[in-house]
A = this chain, B = another copy of it.
Amino acid sequence: MAYKEQYPSALLTEAVEAISSLPGVGRRSALRLALHLLKQPAENVHHFTSAINDLRDGVRYCSRCRMISDDDVCSICSDKSRDQRTICVVESVRDVMSIEATGQYHGVYHVLGGIISPIAGVGPSDLTIKELTERVNALEQPQTAEVILALSGDVEGETTAFYIYRQIEASGVRVSALARGLGFGDDLEYADSLTLGRSITNRQVFKP
């Protein structure tokens, strides 16, 4: 705090406080960024802050999958070439972008907006699980549709997956989960035993 009081101007102090509220940005980085912004032309700085305000104020979410979208229905949900009967359930917008980047998935998504975590105070009602259940229940011939639980492999992820499974199993929809195992290029010697154990149990037919 002694360092803080040495800022030469109240405006600079305010800006550093604001910037250092960002995750992963300490006070020193915040000062560096503030002094950088000071050196830029005013219109560049206004463009920077407007882009952020516009995002926050103008953001919309797809009414079906809750992905960030410019329209009521996102480009993935409205894409007729994608399999609308395969729903990949993910925690966040970023997960959708990661899976899209693989180019391997041609179904649609459902963004939960978080993960069940009693420690963080996040319960099922804070997520879009009810909306997912309604989507699944609205599917015709659910036996031929599929829900992929693409959640992280930690306790929260497993808990959330289990909770969702309980909500949708009665519909008869097929439920799958991401394959767990050694990553490509992973060394057997350094794999943790849980992952290696699952890799053996879930071994796959060798396809040369």
Contacts and interface: CB of A to CB of B under 8 A. Distances in A.
Interface string A124-163: 0000000000000000000000000000000000000000
Interface string A10-48: 111011011101111000010111111110101011111
22 contacts: A7-B97, A8-B74, A8-B93, A8-B97, A9-B59, A9-B69, A9-B70, A11-B54, A11-B58, A11-B59, A12-B68, A15-B55, A19-B48, A19-B51, A19-B52, A31-B94, A31-B97, A34-B52, A34-B55, A35-B94, A42-B57, A46-B56
Interface residues of A, number: 59
Contact of A54 (B15, B23, B31, B93): B15
The quantity of this chain's copies bound in the complex is 2
A73 to B, nearest CB: 12
A93 B142 CA distance: 65
Contacts of A49: 49-50, 52-53
By secondary structure, the A interface counts as helix
A34 to B, nearest CB: 6
A100 interface: yes
Given A8-B97, A68-B12, A74-B8, A45 B35 contact: no
Contacts of A46: 53, 56
A156 to B, nearest CB: 17
A36 B22 contact: yes
A204 interface: no
A69 B8 contact: yes
Contacts of A57: 42
Contact of A38 (B44, B51, B55): B55
Given A8-B96, A42-B57, A55-B38, A22 B14 contact: no
A104 interface: no
A33 B23 contact: yes
Given A42-B56, A56-B37, A92-B35, A18 B48 contact: yes
